[in-house]
Amino acid sequence: MKKTLSYRLFRLGSIPRKLRPLIEAEGVLVADEGIPGRLVMGRVRGPGRRHYGRVEGFSGCFVVTRERILAYSYGKRQINIGRDDPRLAELYVRLASPEWLAISFEASAFRKGWAGVMEFRFRTNQAPRFHAWHRYPVSGRSPAISSSSCDHPDDSGRGGVVPVHDRLSS
C-alpha cells in the first residue's frame, strides 16, 4: 500500500518519536504509519460545535500493542485507549473492505457534552490483522489471517461489526 504524499515528503502521519520507546516496550502487535484515513462525523454535537456529515481526510498511524490501541492523524492523538479501559466496549470495529478498517464510537463515551457517532477509517493492507486483534482482544495474539477472511461475516451475524463487550463476555 502506498504511503500518503504528506508522509513521504514531511513524515506527517508517522508514529511520534517520543512514543516509539513506549509502544516498543508494550509489545507491538500490529502497526502501520503514513496511511491515508478519513474522519466521518454524522450529526456530531459538542460545546460550540455542530458537524453534520463532515468528512476529513488525513495521514496517520494506527498501532495495537499488548496494552493499548493508538491512532494519530497529522501527529495529533485521536485514539488512545488501554485494553483494560471499560470504554473499549464502546468501540465498533469492522472491515469496510479488505483494505479499509473502520472504528466507530459514540462521542459521548469519550467526551463529556458531546453526542453523535464518529468514525475513523484507515486504509491499510494490514486491516485484516488489525481487525483480527479486535476480534480476539484477550489473548493478545492474532491468528493467521487470509485476505479472504474479510469476505465472511463473523459468528455474530452482523457482517464484521462486533462490539468488544460481546466477545469479552464469552
Indicate the number of domains in the chain: 1
**Model pLDDT for residues 9-57, shown as the tens digit of each residue:** 998 999 999 999 999 999 999 999 999 999 999 899 999 999 999 999 9
Flag whether pLDDT at 105 surpasses 60. yes
Q: How many H helices and E strands in the chain?
A: 4, 9
Whether this model's pTM surpasses 0.95: no
- CA-closest candidate to residue 163, choices 144, 122, 135: 135
Please name the helix (run of DSSP H) or strand (run of DSSP E) that holds residue 129, with its range, or none. Answer: helix 127-135
- CA-closest candidate to residue 166, choices 140, 139, 135: 135
Specify whether the CB–CB gap between 61 and 33 falls below 8 A.
yes
Specify whether the CB–CB gap between 160 and 94 falls below 8 A.
yes
Set of cell numbers at residue 163: 462490539
Flag whether pLDDT at 156 surpasses 50. no
Give the mean pLDDT of 161-165. Answer: 35
- Say how far apart CA 119 and CA 95 lie, in whole Å: 12
**Residues near 155 by Cβ (< 8 Å), separated by ≥ 6?**
none
Domain that holds residue 98: 5-168
Position 135 scores a pLDDT of 62
